[in-house]
Structure 1
């Protein structure tokens, strides 16, 4: 068996090395564009899937808002019906609409912190206190 020196290259090895290099360059020249097309197709499919997912989320959120609005409207109708029934019961127990209005007026007077209150008379006009406002010299 003969040993070769480091500077000596066998002609067969050089051809194999160049052949592998040519195959690698040609493979890269033809394979890289195909890889780019494949990569872009995958990126497009991912973007499409994300858009469809976002659309479905938006639709579900809209449905939830619609159902919530319907439930709130139903609750408001039930509350209004209860308030109307309670008002009718109060009105009937106080002798009709006039008695109920007088009751509401008394409730409002109890809650007020005013120092001067004008109470309407039978004609619906308040009794004014023009003398009180004139002071002691007007008497």
Structure 2
């Protein structure tokens, strides 16, 4: 009889555990879904924050690049103005710039420069045409 009472006790214990599991599982499933939803929401918020920070970094970079370009253009403008004034005006600056370009390109393959004196002291630009094929 003692073995029978242990068996009945074990069966009752199993029934109680099974009933607790049947009652607890739906509650646990609801809790687990809530936690998954909160985790997904926090992940979405974090992803949005990251996208906003990346966009802000791109905006800051573009603004700083634009400021650098404006500063460079102002510097170039000022340098050109100073050079033109020191050479006696824009026409003399353009002549100097042309002579400087001729100096830089002199001696490069396929580039021959022929100086021809003219009445107006302006160069003839026909010399830069390519040679006919031989």
TM-score bin (small chain): 0.7 to 0.9
CA 126–16 in structure 1, closer or farther in 2 if over 3 Å, else same? same
Unmatched runs of 5 consecutive residues or more in structure 1:
1-7, 134-139
RCO higher in structure (CA 8 A, sep ≥6):
2
Alpha-carbon spacing, 1:30–1:117, altered in 2? closer, same or farther (3 Å): farther
8 Å contact kept, 2:84–2:93: yes
**Corresponding residue for 2:55?**
62
Q: How does 1:1-139 map to 2 (within 5 A)?
A: 9-112=2-105, 113=108, 114-117=111-114, 121=118, 122=120, 126=124
* Larger Rg, first or second structure (1 or 2): 1
Query: Structure 1 residues 119, 23: closer, same or farther in 2, change over 3 A?
Result: farther
Deviations 1:72-126 (A, max 9, x none): 1111111111110110000011111110000000011001121244669428672
Distance 1:128 1:72, change over 3 A: closer
- Residues 13 and 92 of structure 1: is their aligned pair in 2 closer, same or farther, counting only changes over 3 Å? same
Partner of residue 136, structure 1: none
- DSSP 3-state at the match of 2:11: helix
Q: Is the 8 A contact 2:115 2:123 kept in 1?
A: no
RMSD in angstroms over aligned alpha carbons? 2.5
CA displacement at 1:12 relative to structure 2: 3.4
Asked if the contact 1:118/1:127 (under 8 Å) is kept, the reply is: no
Count residues with an aligned counterpart.
123
For structure 2, list consecutive stretches of 5 or more residues without a partner in the other structure: none
Runs ≥4 residues deviating over 4 A: 117-121
Q: CA distance change for structure 1 residues 87 and 31 in 2, over 3 Å: closer, same or farther?
A: same
